[in-house]
Structure 1
Amino acid sequence: MTTSSSDSQGLFIVGGVVKSRMTDGDQQVLQDYLSNLLQVHNLVILIGSGASFHLGSPHTRGLATDAVKNLIISAGSTMEPTDEDLLRVLNPNNDGDLEKLLNGLQLAVALSSQMALDSITLGEGSTAQSFSVDDIEGLRKKIGAALAFACRLPGEPGSIDPDYRNDPLRAHRNFISRVVRNRRANLPRPRIFTTNYDLVIESALDQLGYPYIDGFSGTVDRRLNLSYYGLDFHRVDTTSQQALARADSALYLHKIHGSLNWKAATEIEATTGVESLEVHQVTEEAASKGERVLIYPTTAKEGDTLAYPYSDLMRMLGDSVQQDDTAIISVGYGFADPHINRILLRSLAMNPALNVLVVDPYAVLEDSDMITAAKNDDIVGTTLSEAGFTSKSTAIAALATGTDARIAVLTGDFGKFTEFANLMPDPGLSSGQVPPSAVVGLIESLEATLTRSISITGNDDD
């Protein structure tokens, strides 16, 4: 459930020093920081699964065996007796982690293949049991399909935060529109990189009416063509076709771990006969019937990023954060992916013109400590350790307690994506600008009014 702003707790930390307790009076400190950050020359937004928790995004850790079974059944698969036996062996403490389960199944298949075995024994002593490679691989595919199915967001109404059931994408629209409208027209387009499979960002962009480039070319047959990231949108004179100005509100979207509507196919080029891997953008249903282009959460995911198209997308992330006057806003990303962390940390080491804002609600302090810290008037201007608090053993906590003034962390309730979206400066309040979707809504409203008027008068000659 979303916490009301008046009850929310939070800390804004820069270079290891608490700059604001995020009370109503102190929020201006963060607002001023964001206003400056959004005007950097090169803006990179990194969005992780935490930005979708209010929409029912699945939790993958601490799952009882029954919860894993329910995920599989919900995705339309059946649980065979062998599947239940495998889960019992791989999840003996009944607190499963989907990443570890997928790892275990993947390693069992790899070991069987290496030893040229048709089956392998798992467990020890009286609980040891033999499983065929086909059974192991079958459960691995079922869990993968269940994870993909659970990432079809927004989820069922009961899984969505009550404040967002009537309008699930409101927070994403607020966040994206404020990012775009805060930037001056002469600055490069914002670039959104996301590890999420879901189509929430695309749906929010569609609702806003914002044009975006996602690396795909074509209309009927949409194929990944990374050269499209070198294109842009411009307004043109309809007669001369001369470019007049850059189109408003456009941005770039990079899905670095794949997407629910990406499908891979090996194809042979008609004229040369050369075989190549193509990535198509299709419906979610069509993608589920083929080879989805997704990096699943296993220990093999870092190796997976070396393959096409992930390697090219990761290279684009690396290039983006190496530019002069660059800022990264990381929202909902827990720094659990070494291949992404390596890019970010090396960029901090090599690019003195890089600033990073990490937004996360829970990774820095325990809940009880956060409540105490947020009520401490004297904490502003000190470090957490100086104020007597012990931070968690997380990557984000390490960033929050470091002394690099280029790194800022927003944590506590205000670190939730829904809260942070509302904290973003809203230039529309002062400039009178409105997003394209609002203009479309106005036109539709006027058309509806005109239609009703014609219907009442019965006269359409005017």
Structure 2
Amino acid sequence: MSIVCVRGDSALDEQDLRAHLAAMLRLENISVLLGAGASVAAGGLTVLQLWKNFLREYPQSARRFSREGFINTEDTELANFEGDNTREVPNIEILLDSLEIARIDWQRRKPTSRNLKVFEKDVDLLLQCVVKAAILNEQSWRSAPKFDQLPHHVKLLQRLVGARQPGQASPWIFTTNYDLSVEWAAESVGVHTHTGFVGIHNRTFSPQSFDLGYRNVNARGEARFGCNDIYLAKLHGSLTWESSDNEYKELSASEFWPRLKGIIDGAQPVSSSMMVFPRAAKYLQTVGFLSGELFRRFSDFLAKPQSCIILIGYSFGDDHINRLIRSALLNPTLQVVAFLPEFSGTQEDQLVQLKPEVRRLLSLNSPRITFVGGGENVYFNNMVDLLPEPMLYDLKEQEFKERIRAASGGDHAE
């Protein structure tokens, strides 16, 4: 594997990087921030791919957004993006935010306007593209995927929980993705996931559940090594969340699938109750509580002593998250490891290709900040192989369990 790695002002080779990651996973607190790039291997789309699909399928909608001043004129031409994966795309969440505010104001001023109906249809088409980008695999919504259908997510989770020492906190997964890849991967190998929602038949958001954990009351000595649960904070929402009667609910994938199927087929509009998209005009009444609590947990984690956050598939395109990470560097024991495929070195001609936020972090020359680049070599599916092997979990053992279940018709528990 050919990688480029810089820690502070020092270059690391692959062996040094592996040693550094092994040390990071043994810190008191460990977390991972997953961006859109982490779901590509599972069938998801990057923001660039999402925007290309929107331009390809609904060019007239994009041009109308441009005429109204929501996006730049050059952002409406598919030809500008084809073959250029480094081109900046509109921030989809900020765009949706602006569109939502405009829609509400338009309804107030001209509720019967024919142009308003066209505008609302254009917004819904963009939302459909966002939903399609996060579906991953339609079959998984009907029956939960097995561990070998999300091998890279499974490997990440197993290596995180397998590195925990006795008494250490369970790992955190923070993600900007709407899909269910983390939940499905955890479920397929028996890792419990704390999402902030509690209940069996009526799962509602209760942030206090993040302060709870699991432990084996019978474990003694070496058996106490590792953990069997993770905390998952979906910072931008989830496809299976909805707001109803001032409550925030998490539904099962199979329960929510008929609604999603209607959306991606164009048979029904995206429901305003779906807790996926930013709704600035309703922030205080709805999304504010849930989103604010999740971001508070993110900020609180970054302030903990002896902590590390690993960034995977995150392109530094979210200014809110960037500010939180930057300010968290005041924590003298926080370590940041960022896997960024476009990072190729610290020469002037190499730095100019990077986002301003990345250049700002690199300019600090801090030994607490590590950037790892190398194109496809540091994509999510390759990056997880750099993490140290878990001590408690083994994929061959999992395969054996699967064969036992299959042979017994699935009637026997593990």
Same fold (TM > 0.5): yes
Give the 3 Å change call, closer, same or farther, for CA 338–443 of structure 1 in structure 2: closer
Q: Does the Cα contact within 8 Å between 1:399 and 1:409 map onto a contact in 2?
A: no
Q: Distance in 1 between matches of 2:41 and 2:10?
A: 30
Offset at 1:324?
0.9
Match of 1:38 among 1, 12, 25: 25
Q: Does the Cα contact within 8 Å between 1:56 and 1:154 map onto a contact in 2?
A: yes
Match of 1:442 among 396, 400, 410: 400
Q: Does the Cα contact within 8 Å between 2:174 and 2:298 map onto a contact in 1?
A: yes
| Structure 2 equivalent of residue 12 of structure 1 | 5
Q: Distance in 2 between matches of 1:300 and 1:342?
A: 23
Q: What residue identity is the alignment partner of 2:248?
A: E
| Structure 2 equivalent of residue 353 of structure 1 | 333
SS of the aligned residue for 1:258 comes to coil
Q: Distance in 1 between matches of 2:226 and 2:11?
A: 40
Offset at 1:249?
2.4
Is 2:251 the partner of 1:281?
A: yes
Offset at 1:299?
9.0
Is 2:319 the partner of 1:338?
A: yes
Structure 2, unaligned runs of 5 or more: 79-88, 140-146, 261-269, 410-414
Give the 3 Å change call, closer, same or farther, for CA 340–304 of structure 1 in structure 2: farther
SS of the aligned residue for 2:308 comes to strand
Q: Distance in 2 between matches of 1:401 and 1:300?
A: 38
| Structure 2 equivalent of residue 411 of structure 1 | 373
Match of 1:202 among 183, 188, 191: 183
Give the 3 Å change call, closer, same or farther, for CA 302–361 of structure 1 in structure 2: farther
Match of 1:212 among 186, 193, 196: 193
Q: Does the Cα contact within 8 Å between 1:12 and 1:410 map onto a contact in 2?
A: yes
Q: What residue identity is the alignment partner of 2:64?
A: L
Answer with 1 or 2: which has the greater Rg: 1
Offset at 1:179?
1.6
| Structure 2 equivalent of residue 320 of structure 1 | 301
Give the 3 Å change call, closer, same or farther, for CA 384–301 of structure 1 in structure 2: farther
Deviates more, 1:198-207 or 1:83-92: 83-92
Q: Percent identity?
A: 23
Offset at 1:235?
2.0
Q: Distance in 2 between matches of 1:173 and 1:301?
A: 36
| Structure 2 equivalent of residue 162 of structure 1 | none
Q: What residue identity is the alignment partner of 1:208?
A: V
1:84-163 alignment to 2 at 5 Å?
A: 86=64, 89=67, 92-93=73-74, 94-95=76-77, 97=89, 99=92, 102=96, 105-106=99-100, 108-109=102-103, 112-113=106-107, 116-118=109-111, 132-154=115-137
Q: Distance in 2 between matches of 1:210 and 1:426?
A: 17
Q: Distance in 2 between matches of 1:119 and 1:353?
A: 57
Offset at 1:438?
5.6
SS of the aligned residue for 2:178 comes to coil
Give the 3 Å change call, closer, same or farther, for CA 251–88 of structure 1 in structure 2: closer
Count of aligned pairs: 370
Structure 1, unaligned runs of 5 or more: 21-26, 73-78, 121-130, 157-165, 239-243, 267-275, 365-369, 374-382, 452-462
Give the 3 Å change call, closer, same or farther, for CA 59–13 of structure 1 in structure 2: same
Give the 3 Å change call, closer, same or farther, for CA 397–301 of structure 1 in structure 2: farther
Please list the CA deviations of residues 347-404 of structure 1 after superposition, one character each: whole Å capped at 9, or x if unmatched.
Answer: 112x111111111101x3xxxxx4xx6xxxxxxxxx535xx75442412243234311
Q: Distance in 2 between matches of 1:13 and 1:360?
A: 11
Q: Does the Cα contact within 8 Å between 2:37 and 2:46 map onto a contact in 1?
A: no
Q: Distance in 1 between matches of 2:155 and 2:241?
A: 27
Q: Compute the RMSD of aligned alpha carbons.
A: 3.7
Q: What residue identity is the alignment partner of 2:231?
A: Y
Q: Distance in 1 between matches of 2:380 and 2:21?
A: 15
Q: Does the Cα contact within 8 Å between 2:204 and 2:248 map onto a contact in 1?
A: yes
Please list the CA deviations of residues 126-182 of structure 1 after superposition, one character each: whole Å capped at 9, or x if unmatched.
Answer: xxxxx62222122212311331122111479xxxxxxxxx95411111122112212
1:411-430 alignment to 2 at 5 Å?
A: 411-413=373-375, 414-428=377-391
Q: Does the Cα contact within 8 Å between 2:50 and 2:133 map onto a contact in 1?
A: no
| Structure 2 equivalent of residue 241 of structure 1 | none
| Structure 2 equivalent of residue 392 of structure 1 | 353
Is 2:279 the partner of 1:308?
A: no
Greater helix proportion:
2
Q: Does the Cα contact within 8 Å between 1:16 and 1:401 map onto a contact in 2?
A: no
